């Protein structure tokens, strides 16, 4: 493994991403929407609306009533006297967790999809393959670039999200309500594991297809499970608590290990060169 080559490849890929508006712009817009606009809109709308008078609240009220009394969430919600407080706390600390997970996965998917497919479009893959760099260092360098950007987006989004919630929500709660323990597990454990999974999938796709758009379209298969988690929570199927997040992160790492094991035999210079031609 060539550490110097890995750093150079990762730096080159990060530079190509930040200079490409088609890739970089969504990485700025999506976190702003998910981490600032959505929570700000929810908090402000709830602060100036009496939800006790609102209609169609039955599904949410059923979720609140079905929570086990010994659960951490039920105890936290019991400390609030107003329905507005309970719903903001529930949505922002629990329901929005899968939505937040989309930010690093999207970033990792875009960079990983661009890894080899972008080289093919720029006609630079041949020179990269003929460079005196072993194939593992080449693969690891491109994966590292995607991982660093995904973690950076997650940390930046986490800070924006927390500031938005605590500043706009302070008049309603008179204290900071974010982050809770489930969000720390999400950031430290689940985000890295699912980012790795998204990177492995998209790098493999990027090495096989001929262009970035085709590789990027395939990334939807990584996003679908997260969308399923989000919909399931909203429908009240389950609540993504800390225990579930530990299991989710472990499952992501296990699948990533299996994927990496299967990919080891695929990545060689001949196959990558053939994917450029055929």
CB 66 within 8 A of CB 102: no
Measured from the Cβ of residue 269, the count of other Cβ atoms closer than 10 Å reads 13
Give burial (CB, 10 Å; 0-12/13-18/19+) of 179. middle
pLDDT of residue 269 exceeding 60, the answer is: no
Measured from the Cβ of residue 235, the count of other Cβ atoms closer than 10 Å reads 10
Q: For residues 154 and 219, what is the distance between their CA atoms, to the nearest angstrom?
A: 18
CB 93 within 8 A of CB 177: yes
Q: What is the DSSP string of 92-131?
A: IIIITHHHHHHHHHHHHHHHHHHHHHHHHHHT-HHHHHTS
Q: For residues 27 and 24, what is the distance between their CA atoms, to the nearest angstrom?
A: 5
Whether a cis peptide bond, with omega within 30° of 0, leads into 179 is yes
Look up residue 246 and give its two tokens.
Answer: 């530990």
Q: For residues 198 and 110, what is the distance between their CA atoms, to the nearest angstrom?
A: 10
- Lowest mean pLDDT of 36-40, 174-178, 266-270, name the range: 266-270
Per-residue pLDDT reduced to its tens digit, 37-83? 999 998 888 877 766 555 566 666 676 666 666 677 777 777 788 87
Per-residue pLDDT reduced to its tens digit, 176-234? 888 888 899 999 999 999 999 888 888 777 767 666 666 666 667 777 878 887 777 76
Q: For residues 69 and 140, what is the distance between their CA atoms, to the nearest angstrom?
A: 47
Per-residue pLDDT reduced to its tens digit, 116-166? 666 666 676 666 666 667 777 778 888 888 899 899 999 999 999 999 999
Cα 96 to the chain's mean position, in Å? 12
CB 203 within 8 A of CB 146: yes
pLDDT score at 176:
87
Per-residue pLDDT reduced to its tens digit, 87-102? 888 888 888 888 888 8
């Amino acid at each position: 493994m060539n550490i110097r080559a890995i750093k150079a490849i990762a730096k080159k890929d990060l530079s190509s991403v930040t200079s490409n508006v088609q890739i970089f712009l969504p990485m700025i817009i999506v976190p702003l929407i998910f981490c600032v606009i959505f929570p700000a809109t929810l908090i402000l709308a709830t602060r100036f609306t009496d939800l006790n008078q609102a209609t169609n609240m039955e599904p949410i009220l059923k979720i609140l009533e079905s929570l086990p009394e010994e659960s951490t969430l039920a105890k936290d919600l019991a400390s609030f006297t107003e329905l507005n407080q309970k719903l903001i706390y529930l949505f922002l600390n629990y329901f929005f967790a899968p939505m937040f997970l989309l930010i690093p996965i999207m970033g990792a998917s875009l960079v990983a999809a661009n890894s080899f497919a972008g080289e093919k479009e720029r006609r630079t893959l041949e020179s990269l393959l003929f460079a005196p760099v072993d194939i593992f260092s080449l693969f690891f360098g491109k994966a590292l670039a995607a991982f660093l950007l995904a973690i950076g987006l997650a940390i930046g989004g986490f800070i924006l999200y927390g500031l938005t919630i605590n500043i706009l929500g302070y008049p309603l709660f008179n204290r900071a309500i974010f982050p809770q323990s489930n969000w720390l597990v999400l950031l430290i454990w689940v985000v890295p594991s699912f980012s790795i999974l998204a990177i492995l999938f998209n790098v493999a796709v990027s090495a096989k297809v001929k262009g970035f758009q085709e590789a990027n379209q395939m990334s939807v298969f990584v996003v679908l499970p997260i969308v399923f988690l989000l919909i399931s929570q909203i429908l009240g199927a389950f609540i993504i608590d800390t225990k579930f997040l530990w299991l989710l992160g472990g499952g992501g790492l296990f699948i990533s290990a299996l994927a990496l094991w299967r990919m080891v035999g695929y990545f060689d210079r001949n196959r990558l060169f053939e994917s450029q031609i055929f």
